[in-house]
Amino acid sequence: MMTSSTSEKPLVELTKGVNGLEKVILREVRGSSAEVYLYGGQVTSWKNDLREELLFVSSKAIFKPPKAIRGGIPICFPQFANRGPLESHGFARNRFWSIDKDPPPFPAATSSRAFVDLILKPSEEDLKIWPHSFEFRLRVALSPAGDLMLTSRIRNTSTDGKPFAFTFAYHTYFSVSDISEVRVEGLETLDYLENKERFTEQGDAITFESEVDKIYLSTPTKIAILDHEKKRTFVIRKDGLPDAVVWNPWDKRAKAIADFGDEEYKHMLCVEAAAVEKPITLKPGEEWRGRQELSAVPSSYCSGQLDPKRVLLGS
């Protein structure tokens, strides 16, 4: 684990979290941080340099295997939702990942020194329910500016010559001040799936006044979430992930979810970089790469300091 001479605390620290589960804390010298549990390979915290929490984790989240952790960034693999024979959202989010001490080199150099590489391989039990050999490598990195980057590399390591197919999502729970004050830009006029039926988005921006559970198709590489009350905009940049899932359970559904507070739907929104409509197929030896980069920028939409169109079209 790397330490920094300019800061008392190490940039990367392995420690114990809730219920003694191991977690890795990433810190940048300006003050931003992220936490990743080895259980699920799951990011559960991302704070800016003002130490404000940017992700939502339910106050009722159960940090106890085999239950998935409600909030943060669960990884849906090898199946999104119920679109296949496995348990909902697959099994990666309720398995113990290992720290990968010697990962293969990354194609792009990163300026971040606060990062951790995790790896998941199937157990004998996993092979019984999903009979495919794979290596799933996940890098979680925090940039000097406080941006959070997740890069997944999934390789077919089978020796039987058979390809496999999977669906995938970074099920990111963003923390918002008030869901009724939030809008999502970048998904206008796109087709989406809802209850497996296909529709076309009509609104000029997506706002929230009831339950939403939609899979937007062929989405741009950049999506913005504007939180008017917090004067904050989240920008999601993604690569290798053509779809985007937008989810908020609203009041009735929230009450039906055991590990979710009745009123917590008001303070969260899931916008998920995903590959759902067209499963990804890997032949033996092939590798897929899917990446998302999250940034949070101050914005004051009313005063025109931040035109959301410029956020989407700009750098």
Percentage of the chain beyond pLDDT 70 is 91
pLDDT of residue 84: 87
42-78: string of b/e by CB count within 10 Å (b at 16+)?
bbbbbbbeeeeebbbbbeebebeeeebbbbbbbbbbb
pLDDT attached to residue 78: 98
Phi, psi of 3 (to 5 degrees): -120, 160
DSSP code of 14?
E
Are the C-beta atoms of residues 187 and 207 closer than 8 Å to each other?
Answer: no
Q: Which of 28, 264, 272, 277 is catalytic?
A: 272
Cβ-based neighbours of 238, under 8 Å, separated by 6 or more = 221, 222, 223, 244, 273, 290, 291, 292, 293
pLDDT of residue 169 exceeding 80? yes
Mean pLDDT over 94-102 rounds to 95
Query: Which residues are CB-contacts of 67 (< 8 A; sequence separation ≥ 6)?
Result: 94, 259
d(CA 172, CA 294): 10
Any catalytic annotation for residue 132? no
Q: In this predicted structure, what is the pLDDT of residue 104? A: 85
Which residue, 90, 149, 69, 157, is CA-closest to 117?
149
3-state secondary structure of 20: helix
pLDDT band at 286 (very low <50, low <70, confident <90, very high): very high
Q: Is 267 a catalytic residue?
A: no
**φ, ψ for residue 308, nearest 5 deg:** -60, -30
pLDDT of residue 1: 54
pLDDT in tens, 170-191: 999 999 999 999 999 999 999 9
Residue 315: which pLDDT band, with cuts at 50, 70 and 90? very low
At residue 127, φ and ψ (nearest 5 deg) are -65, -25
Cβ-contact 282, 289 below 8 angstroms: no
Annotated catalytic residue within 171, 185, 228, 277 = 171
Residue 46 reports pLDDT greater than 80: yes
Which pLDDT value is given to residue 301?
Answer: 52
pLDDT at 5: 44
Q: For residue range 220-273, what is the model confidence (pLDDT) as tens digits?
A: 999 999 999 999 999 999 999 999 999 999 999 999 999 999 999 999 999 999
pLDDT in tens, 57-85: 999 999 999 999 999 999 999 999 998 89
pLDDT > 90? residue 106: no
